[in-house]
Chains A and B, each alone.
Chain A
């Protein structure tokens, strides 16, 4: 069992509150899993320095300044590298391509596992109580235009920071999963034969690798998820995000819960309604449960201009 939560904000007035809203959802979601948790936060591109890359990594024990120096030494062409320690995750930023920063992190910190690389995405994950992890990440103070959160009760693989969700294996992509894939070993072999590498034995990582592989081949989000429903067996509610989109899909049986609330200001996805009670405008939201094997996609292009119609946040 796992808990899923996600926010796709359409109203820029809400961007400063992303972390606080997501933390409220994450703590409710702990009721469906509390052995580990993770979040993926998408910074508003408008507020980002030009050409910035962000790379998150696990399993490196050294303090952030030391880790940043080590990455800087390896990647001399990167320029200054900043590092922030957030719980069990270290987040590196530099003015560089995400690929170059990722390569430097991998080379400088051989023990580290890279858990995300992109322009606007920061992934934070770890083992422990979700509420304590949220504190360690300083989640409530973080901003952004889109975010996903996951609480895990592991069934298919070990409870480790690397086995927690989201899985981010393509640029600015995140996948979180409630359920279990039953044919993931077969698909892992098929993807490996195409040259796809894996960081864990987790079934969800196979789904994330599959989607990244399809997106890299030119598919759009809707096509990639439709293809996934044809190849993956098992139980799943998947929430998938990228720098431009936010999508949800459930398996044909649809026994893993999902509920969507949509307002002019936001789209929120949750495993249970109670995660949504703190959303601004929830009383007048369109609330529905996604149908089985129907891919729902929301695009960033629909993000609005700032408005003054929003109820004030407490």
Chain B
């Protein structure tokens, strides 16, 4: 597809192992609900690119707007440029590799999967996160509730190297830090009773 001029809902709901090349900028929800297909977008993507992806691969060569990869269950989302707010919100098993920076509240309530950020992360990274693993090379403006920095063990370096290779990134795993859940919000704490 050539010159979609920011149209919404391009290449949504694909369920076959086909290759789709979109030359230009797309609007909202491009490649949403993708299953098996490989979608490449040479320009920028609007809100919710690859939202609820199940499998396959979506590659945005420009930048992406908010909620990229929201609720995605599987597959690989690659954004060469920046992603804005809420990248990977409530992700449920997908892998997301962002070449640039992400905006505020990224990986909010992220349940499973890996989010790799080669640039910086905005405020509230990983707020109320469950078991997704976050890797950040640059600065984190602030961590959200229950998100902490964690030790980078050999298995993490291995999986990060694999993700960077899949996304064709030049960065080295040793340049990243890992963040994840402190698991303090999983159960009700009697000390917090006054808050209710």
Residues of A within 8 A of B (CB): 254-255, 257, 259, 272-277, 287, 289, 291-292
Contact = CB atoms under 8 A, between A and B. Distances in A.
B54 to A, nearest CB: 25
Instruction: For chain B, give the interface size range.
Output: 10 to 19
Nearest to B25: A273
B89 to A, nearest CB: 11
Interface in B31-90: 44, 46-47, 63, 65-66, 84-85
B27 A274 contact: yes
Contacts of A257: 47, 65-66
Contact of B6 (A255, A276, A291, A292): A276
B144 interface: no
Contacts of A275: 6
A292 B104 contact: yes
A185 B12 CA distance: 42
Contacts of A289: 65-66, 84, 103
A273 B84 contact: no
A276 B25 CA distance: 11
A255 B66 contact: yes
B27 A273 contact: yes
Contacts, number: 39
B18 to A, nearest CB: 25
Contacts of A255: 66, 85
Contacts of B85: 254-255, 292
Contacts of A292: 85, 104
Q: Which of B6, B27, B44, B66 has the most CB of A within 10 A?
A: B6
Given A259-B65, A273-B27, 8 more contacts: A257-B65, A257-B66, A273-B44, A273-B46, A274-B6, A274-B7, A276-B6, A289-B65
Interface of B: 5-8, 25, 27-28, 44, 46-47, 63, 65-66, 84-85, 103-104, 122
Nearest to B105: A253
Contacts of A254: 66, 85, 103-104
Nearest to A259: B65
Contact of B27 (A272, A287, A291): A272
B44 A287 contact: yes
B66 to A, nearest CB: 7
Nearest to B123: A292
B66 A272 contact: no
A273 to B, nearest CB: 4
A291 B84 CA distance: 9
Contacts of B28: 272
Nearest to B122: A291
Contacts of B5: 274, 277
17 contacts: A255-B66, A255-B85, A257-B65, A257-B66, A259-B65, A272-B28, A272-B46, A273-B25, A273-B44, A273-B46, A274-B27, A276-B6, A287-B44, A289-B84, A289-B103, A291-B103, A291-B104
B132 to A, nearest CB: 21
B6 A272 contact: yes
Nearest to A292: B104
A254 B65 CA distance: 11
Contacts of A277: 5-6
B124 to A, nearest CB: 10
A269 B66 CA distance: 17
Contacts of B44: 273, 287
Contacts of A274: 5-8, 27
B22 to A, nearest CB: 14
Contacts of A272: 6, 27-28, 46
A255 B122 CA distance: 15
Contacts of B47: 257
A292 B103 CA distance: 9
A272 B104 CA distance: 20
Nearest to A257: B47
A4 to B, nearest CB: 15
A283 to B, nearest CB: 10
A288 to B, nearest CB: 8
